[in-house]
Structure 1
Amino acid sequence: MAVSYNKLWKLMIDKKINKSQLCKKIKISSSTMAKMTNEEMVAMTVLEKICAELECDISDIMEFTDLAEVKKKIHNDNTSPDNGTVNVR
């Protein structure tokens, strides 16, 4: 699933805090911040810490992108190409 943290970067500019300061304040690693910089998923606990520190909601720091592609993948994973039945896992 594609995710964008552009809202977080803008919020950090508004609050005059940089990435290393945020990492230090909420005690996350620089590699976790690097994942976010590369628009990769991170643990919900990380997002929770960010929201608590910046006093905001999760929708203020991130958004999902390309949900149509995710939906397509879900349907392709659950449908058998032979008979169209749903696989139960």
Structure 2
Amino acid sequence: MGVSYKRLWKLLIDKDMKKKDLAVAANISTYTVNKLNHGENVNTDTLVSICKVLDCTFDDIMELIPDEQSESHEAQK
């Protein structure tokens, strides 16, 4: 299974925040934001920090993608 953070990016748009703003507020590195941007795995503590800043849950910022969709998503990159 893969992970998609499209919900996170949509939530940032709704809250009028930039990725840089999120990184500062959640105290995460730009490297970690880049990993999120590419759908890579990140530490659960990072996701908790993001959820605290945005006042949301994991379901609000990410979703699991079945392997076949995940593989085609990776091929599109």
TM-score of the aligned structures, taking structure 1 as reference length: 0.73
Percent identical residues = 41
Moved over 6 A (4+): none
Q: 1:66: how far off?
A: 1.2
Report what 1:33 is aligned to: 33
Computed over aligned residues only, the root mean square deviation of the Cα atoms, in angstroms, reads 1.5
Q: Which stretches in structure 2 are left out of the alignment for 5+ residues?
A: 70-77
Once the two structures are superposed, what CA deviation does each residue of 1:37-68 show, in whole Å capped at 9, x if it has no partner?
Answer: 00001000000001000000110000110157
Bigger fraction of residues in helix = 2
Q: What is the correspondence of 1:1-89 to structure 2 with a 5 Å cutoff?
A: 1-66=1-66
Q: How many residues align?
A: 69
Q: Point out the structure with max Rg over C-alpha.
A: 1
Report what 2:74 is aligned to: none
- Where relative contact order (Cα < 8 A, 6+ residues apart) is larger, the structure is 2
Paired letter, 2:47: L
Q: Which stretches in structure 1 are left out of the alignment for 5+ residues?
A: 70-89
